[in-house]
Amino acid sequence: MQKNSERSLACTTGILAQTSQVAGWRSILGGILLLALLPHPDHAWSATPTLASVNLQWNRSPSAEVTGYRIYYGALTRSYSNNIALGNVTNTTVANLTIGDTYYFTVVAFNAVGLESIFSNELLYIVPGGTAQLQIRIAPNKQAILTVTGKTNHTYEIQATTDLKTWSVIGTVTLGASGSKNYTNTNAGSFSKRFYRTRDTQP
């Protein structure tokens, strides 16, 4: 009985070591991938008026073994229903997004045998459309630049949350003749994740 017990322990230890090794390779493969909207996103609208696209970019993995990247995205955080495999590039356009819907994006690097890195940061994107639109861009200093587009001379509250339950007003913008204005959330980098929305105070 003792010999069987020792054999079982050795086998279990071997599995743990192998799992740890794979996790290590996943970390090395990805390095630190940072996903963001392109600095000046060019939204491409399709022939179908309910669909749009968004441009994404990420930093290149430092690993020489990387042969490509894969974008994962979907309507639920950390639960992605779609993915796009790409070559060794650092930006892409994701099409066929429904106007007004919320999407979560992340990117991984992969090598020649298909081993993927860990997920990058997650990016939340609300597809602009309807009466009011909110576009979010993360600046290099980790500040969130929010572009509100809506009705001229209307004031919009900008609300934020970390749990999608409790929302707080962090600022307001009043839109001029252009119908668009930026608001900078200077402390966005203090949160591991943060979500935003707008509310028209003069509906």
Q: What's the pLDDT tens digit per position in 10-40?
A: 333 333 344 455 566 677 676 667 777 665 4
pTM of the predicted model as reported, rounded to 2 decimal places: 0.55
Tell me which residue has tokens 């017990």: 5
CA dihedral 97→98→102→105, nearest 10 degrees, is -10
d(CA 71, CA 83) in angstroms, rounded, equals: 5
pLDDT at 41: 46
69 is written with which tokens? 């990247």
Looking at per-residue confidence, does 194 or 7 come out higher?
194
pLDDT at 23: 62
pLDDT at 124: 87
DSSP character string of 157-202: EEEEESSSSS-EEEEEEE--TTSEEEEEETTGGGSS--EEEEEES-
Question: Where are the alpha helices (H) located in 103-195, listed in sequence order?
Answer: none
pLDDT at 6: 39
Sorted by where each starts, the structural domains of the chain and their CATH numbers stand as: 1-123 (2.60.40.10), 131-203 (2.60.40)
CA dihedral 37→39→44→50, nearest 10 degrees, is 50
Tell me which DSSP letter residue 44 carries.
P
5 is written with which tokens? 């017990």
To which H or E segment does residue 188 belong? none
End-to-end alpha carbon distance in the chain: 76
State whether residue 77 is helix, strand or coil: coil
